[in-house]
A = this chain, B = another copy of it.
Amino acid sequence: MITLAVDCMGGDHGPGVTLPACRHFLEQHPDAELLLVGLPASLAAFTHERARMVAATEVVSMDDSIEVALRRKKDSSMRVAIAQVKSGAAQAAVSAGNTGALMAIARYLLKTLDGIDRPAIAGQIPNAKGAATTVLDLGANVDCTAEHLLQFAVMGSALVSVLSDNESPTVGLLNIGEEAIKGNDIIKQAGELLRTAAGLGDLNFYGNVEGNDIFKGTTDIVVCDGFVGNVALKTSEGLATMMGNFIKLEFSRNFLTKIAAGAAYPVLKAIKSRMDHRRYNGAALLGLRGLVFKSHGSADAFAFGQALSRAYDAAKHNLLDRVQARIAHAAPLLVSAQPIAEPVMAAPIL
């Protein structure tokens, strides 16, 4: 039996989305049970033989600061859900709440794995191959050393090997191409570390990739710092939204274009389905002593269900053990990571 703890209050829609998603998930996964965490009044109407309510008295809002979420709301649904993982009552927690708060609480309660300085957020971005490219970090760490990037690569490899039938997923290091007037020292060092790690069998390093390779699907995994990863993700969301709106606008411009839209409807639907990022909802918080998955805040029931499924798959296939094993194997390289106290600016180059 796989048990997931669900923060039912998180996200833009809260129980209105999370509860229907939970019901559908339970129907699809007969060997799963859910701990539904939230305000009792909000969850009272939900009953299922494999669901149990765990009460929380507070809710972390989307704009709560990390400080507030971590220190003032100690009985939040988000925190109680993660505490279920900490206590062993659940194998993974899922939340659509505030990412910053989720990472901070998860890190505080669960702590990081040996050999990992910084947890990272690993998400999937649909690519031209009809699959998805796993990109990390998507925003947990705005400044990274070469060793952090190596840690991300090792953790990402564990994640992808667990969630897909690919024991040796390829890793690309996000860089800028010929446009670079000069290289970035951190990236160059990371490239060397990754090559060494590949030589030792710790991962399958492809080499440098550029932004467009994320969508080409050149590699299974793309590694970058959280600032760059977050900008790449948000920029892509912005472009996809704009293109989607252009398509809608042009097809609804007048009577004739509306007829064209009718004729093209099955095709437009197929295109939309190909681009449906909801299928890939559910980012993994990697590097913690417990499994936590983050759903997009705006997720609908279908998307939230995907995040539940990813958490289920990760738990079922022992992602935590796999990450730990890979980290242990790569330990000789990882220990060279200098402990750094707090975010420092990227080192002055030359």
Instruction: Using CB atoms and an 8 Å cutoff, list the residues of chain A in contact with chain B.
Output: 62-63, 66, 98-100, 103-104, 121, 127-128, 138-143, 174, 176-186, 210-216, 224, 226-228, 230-243, 245-247, 250-251, 253, 256-257, 259-261, 263-264, 266-267, 270-271, 274-275, 340-346, 348-350
Contact = CB atoms under 8 A, between A and B. Distances in A.
A205 B282 CA distance: 35
B260 A237 contact: no
Contacts of A230: 176-177, 179-180, 210-211
Assembly stoichiometry (copies): 2
B246 A274 contact: yes
Given A246-B274, A246-B275, A100 B181 contact: yes
A181 B234 CA distance: 16
Nearest to A259: B263
Nearest to A248: B271
A216 B239 CA distance: 8
Given A212-B238, A215-B241, A231-B231, A345 B185 contact: yes
B63 A180 contact: no
A95 B323 CA distance: 49
A172 to B, nearest CB: 12
Contact of A245 (B128, B179, B259): B128
